[in-house]
Structure 1
Amino acid sequence: MALPKHVTIKEVGPRDGLQNESDMIRTEDKIDWINLLSQTGLSYIEITSFVHPKWISQLADAIEVAKGIEREKDITYAALVPNKKGLERALEANVDEISVFMSASESHNRKNINKSIEETYPVLEEVVLGAKKQQKSVRGYVSTAFGCPYEGDIDVKDVIQVSKTLFDMGIDELSIGDTIGVANPLQVQHFLTEFREHLPEQKVALHFHDTRGTALANCLVAMELGFDTFDSALGGLGGCPYAKGASGNLATDDLFYMLNGMGIETNIDREKLLQAASFIQSKMKKSLSSHQMQILNQGRE
């Protein structure tokens, strides 16, 4: 089994993990949590989203959070940005990296962004060019790459077309999302084998959701194909809006456990990671869903 010696874990909990949580987390607690994450060895933290506050009230304090954290020099602090107005706010907050987003599915893109795919491109291009003008790196998210709640299976050629368009705009990295957590290892193998014939795996991250329990297996298949960057959320934070009660994001602590046990380097400190997970759990009205936190909560370790 040919596997990478090092894997980069990109923590998206403060944004993707919290955005679906209905119980509000205090701004100061978000700041303290991100500061704890900054001590774990992570090199990338997506801290918030600059979408309009009326759409995601949990992240309405984006500027306060971005300005309030203690930044470490070797960490990229990123934020999701939907349009020019969001970019202005993100630049005011001086985030390191700007993330733009769209779907490979026409139906999901209309539901999520209220625009067709073709109508979305010029909006995102304006953000990418504006961010580049300010010497910011840019990441692109492509959602529903492995399946759509409205259209079902998505043709990999559609994902490739959207991805190429984003790279042509000037993005530095692409994150391919299994938004509703339907992907299985064989599907991932077929998808990525074709995908990497058109776009370099060195500039691609995988964003698997664990809604149906296949995220770690999908990561393993991706690693066998040469992909070495994965998005995850500490404690498995984040639900799936299309599968009520289901888990959402792949848990950072579970991914770390698997990689560490396999001798794959991540530069992450396990104890500090679990300390950060315990902290945010203490600020919520529920236990975190990751396997590692379930073990910790039951006092077995």
Structure 2
Amino acid sequence: MKLIECPRDAWQGFHPFIPSEIKLEYLNQLIRVGFETIDFGSFVSPKAMPQMQDTAWITERLELTGSNTSLLAIVANERGATDACAFEQIGQLGYPFSISETFQMRNTQATVEESFERVKRIADLCQKHRKELVIYISMGFGNPYGDPWAPEIVMEWVEKLSKLGTSTFSLADTVGVAQPSDIGWLFTALIPHYPELEFGAHFHTRPDDWRPKIQAAYDAGCRRFDGALLGYGGCPMAQDDLVGNMPTERLVDFAREQRELLCIDTGELQKARIMFQQIVG
């Protein structure tokens, strides 16, 4: 199993602003844990996401020497992708591609088709700068807006996007509505059909329904999972205060149950957990 720690998703909507030095200290602690990837920041408009305005400053100061952890930054357009590509430290760029027209407009001020054209240009930038592009299929398991959704729609967009050279997709349960049956159907359909691609799961969940989602994805062959310590954060549009990120602690427990080898330092993980509790009060 690969565990992707997502502090960016945990604190992007947090108020007030977390001092940059504190974020830096926490991210350096997460690097010491040994996560496969850390989704650490985003290159987006400071007006849209004030908490992320110091991503460039932080990137230049992260302690990566001797670490195998890859850094992933979220971008919403070519300008953000260009800024992120300027940093050698960043290995992956993530783009939130929603199959819900309403959410795509709200999230990136672009229609789904316009977003597809953006992905083309961002993919070219990634290839030029030797970065990996990770596509998040947001609203991948349904949406609250009444926009069309079906597993087949997800399949269609994965097919189109994969032709742009994207090799990693993360199916995002953006508002925490995923059903185990849909999770199992999608991963069972996608993973054998695209053996050259990597598929991950970015689940948002209530405290009492995390296990069925992980189990359904795992049983269908998924081995890449996003999480955030304490299950903090999540999408503010979930319309349910109990819906947050998948708790990293649960993912670690699940991996142990499945006898999966995780290359993380549990002592450093506990230190990170304590630090994050202090950050969010």
Does the pair score TM above 0.5? yes
The match for 1:16 among 9, 13, 27 is: 9
SS in 1 for 2:205: coil
Counterparts of residues 264-279 of structure 1 (less than 5 Å): 264-279=260-275
- When structure 1 is superposed on structure 2, of 151-160 and 126-135 the one drifting more is 151-160
Q: Is the 8 A contact 1:45 1:76 kept in 2?
A: yes
SS in 1 for 2:261: coil
- The answer on 1:91 being equivalent to 2:82 is no
Shift of residue 259 of structure 1? Answer: 1.6
SS in 1 for 2:85: helix
Shift of residue 193 of structure 1? Answer: 2.5
Query: Gaps (5+ residues) in structure 1?
Result: 1-6, 286-301
SS in 1 for 2:60: helix
Letter in 1 for 2:54: D
Shift of residue 244 of structure 1? Answer: 4.2
**Identity over aligned pairs, percent:** 27
Letter in 1 for 2:106: K
Q: Is the 8 A contact 2:85 2:125 kept in 1?
A: no
- The answer on 1:51 being equivalent to 2:47 is no
Specify the alignment match of 1:160 in structure 2: 155
Q: Normalising by structure 1, what TM-score?
A: 0.87
Query: Gaps (5+ residues) in structure 2?
Result: none
Shift of residue 197 of structure 1? Answer: 5.2
Q: Is the 8 A contact 1:101 1:140 kept in 2?
A: yes
The match for 1:203 among 195, 198, 205 is: 198
- The answer on 1:68 being equivalent to 2:64 is no
Letter in 1 for 2:104: N
Specify the alignment match of 1:185 in structure 2: 180
Shift of residue 238 of structure 1? Answer: 0.7
Deviations along 1:171-191, whole A, 9 cap, x unmatched?
Answer: 121111000111122232223
Distance 1:201 1:11, change over 3 A: farther
Q: Is the 8 A contact 2:184 2:219 kept in 1?
A: no
Shift of residue 264 of structure 1? Answer: 1.8
SS in 2 for 1:231: strand
Deviations along 1:59-107, whole A, 9 cap, x unmatched?
Answer: 0101011111111441111101111211222123331111112101122
Q: Is the 8 A contact 2:151 2:182 kept in 1?
A: no
SS in 2 for 1:85: helix
Distance 1:123 1:152, change over 3 A: closer
- The answer on 1:231 being equivalent to 2:226 is yes
In structure 1, how many angstroms separate the alpha carbons of the residues matched to 2:230 and 2:250?
Answer: 8
In structure 2, how many angstroms separate the alpha carbons of the residues matched to 1:92 and 1:123?
Answer: 18
Q: Is the 8 A contact 1:103 1:144 kept in 2?
A: yes
If each structure's strand is expressed as a fraction of its own residues, which one has the higher value? 2
The match for 1:125 among 112, 120, 125 is: 120
Shift of residue 262 of structure 1? Answer: 3.4
SS in 2 for 1:175: strand
In structure 2, how many angstroms separate the alpha carbons of the residues matched to 1:152 and 1:70?
Answer: 43
Q: Is the 8 A contact 2:178 2:213 kept in 1?
A: yes
- CA RMSD after TM alignment: 1.8
Q: How many residues align?
A: 278
In structure 2, how many angstroms separate the alpha carbons of the residues matched to 1:235 and 1:201?
Answer: 33
In structure 2, how many angstroms separate the alpha carbons of the residues matched to 1:87 and 1:191?
Answer: 29
